Amino acid sequence: MREEEKIKKGILFSPADPELVSMKLHTHNLCVDYNQTHEDETEKRRTILEKIIGSMGEHVFLQGPITFHYGIHTRIGNHFFGNFNLTIQDDAEVTIGDYCSFGPNVTIVTPVHPLLADERRYMLDKDGNRKHLCYAKPVHIGNDCWFGANVVVCPGVTIGDACVIGAGSVVTKDIPSNSFAAGNPCRVIRTLDESDSMKYKPEILADNQIIESSGGVV
């Protein structure tokens, strides 16, 4: 079984496997290329991203600098905004839905290492060879999510649609849809509802208007 197949099965794999090392080096070099572009070099940036990311929709903007580990294990939907220093360590699959926005320094990680020091150093593979082994858990993020600055999403987490994750949060467990969640570890503070509308903050709304779901405005 190839090491990448082991990743997908959620079992121990060797990150030093030559095939995986080659994949990561290819992506790391492309990230360097992206990070050396100017913000207004939109076509050049899009071309590089298409070589890094497994799949992405329309209107994807990554401020940069960016760091992807594999890149091909990440899928990003439409209308995504990622602010400065986005890091996605996508050993396992990472999916991000439509209309998501991430603040600066957001990090998504999927690999997990053994807790015992001796096992982190070496274990034996099926042929008795001493190897550094780890495993990985996928991360799934729904549509319409907003992450504040310095959010860390840990392996195996699923975040539902229309969630707001407060700045500095470390998300270790699943977050249900329509939640405002924050903290370390991150926990649900409350459910978001109509009472959170900007129309109830006229001092901030000023002379702007809310677009109602029916198509009208208030």
CATH number of the domain residue 54 falls in: 2.160.10.10
Q: What Cα–Cα distance (Å) separates residue 127 from each residue in 119, 130, 190, 205?
A: 17, 9, 51, 65
pLDDT of residue 196: 95
3-state secondary structure of 170: strand
Please give the angle made by the CA atoms of 125, 3 and 142, to the nearest 5 degrees: 125
Residue 86's DSSP bridge partners are 66
Query: pLDDT tens digits, residue range 10-60?
Result: 999 999 999 999 999 999 999 999 999 999 999 999 999 999 999 999 999
Task: Say whether 69 is catalytic.
Answer: no
Residue 214 has pLDDT above 60, yes or no: no
Structural domain count, the chain: 1
Query: pLDDT tens digits, residue range 149-208?
Result: 999 999 999 999 999 999 999 999 999 999 999 999 999 999 999 999 999 999 999 999
Query: pLDDT tens digits, residue range 109-142?
Result: 999 999 999 999 999 999 999 999 999 999 999 9
pLDDT of residue 212: 79
pLDDT of residue 216: 42
Residue 217 has pLDDT above 70, yes or no: no
Domain contains 28: yes
User: What residue has token string 């760091």?
Assistant: 67
Query: pLDDT tens digits, residue range 57-87?
Result: 999 999 999 999 999 999 999 999 999 999 9
pTM of the model: 0.94
pLDDT of residue 151: 98
* Domain carrying residue 135: 3-205
Q: Are 56 and 62 in contact (CB under 8 A)?
A: no
Domain contains 218: no
Domain contains 211: no
Domain contains 210: no
The answer to whether the peptide bond before residue 176 is cis (omega within 30 degrees of 0) is no
Domain contains 212: no
Residue 99 has pLDDT above 90, yes or no: yes
pLDDT of residue 218: 38
Domain contains 145: yes
- Catalytic one among 26, 73, 79, 113? 113
Domain contains 214: no
pLDDT of residue 159: 98
Domain contains 215: no
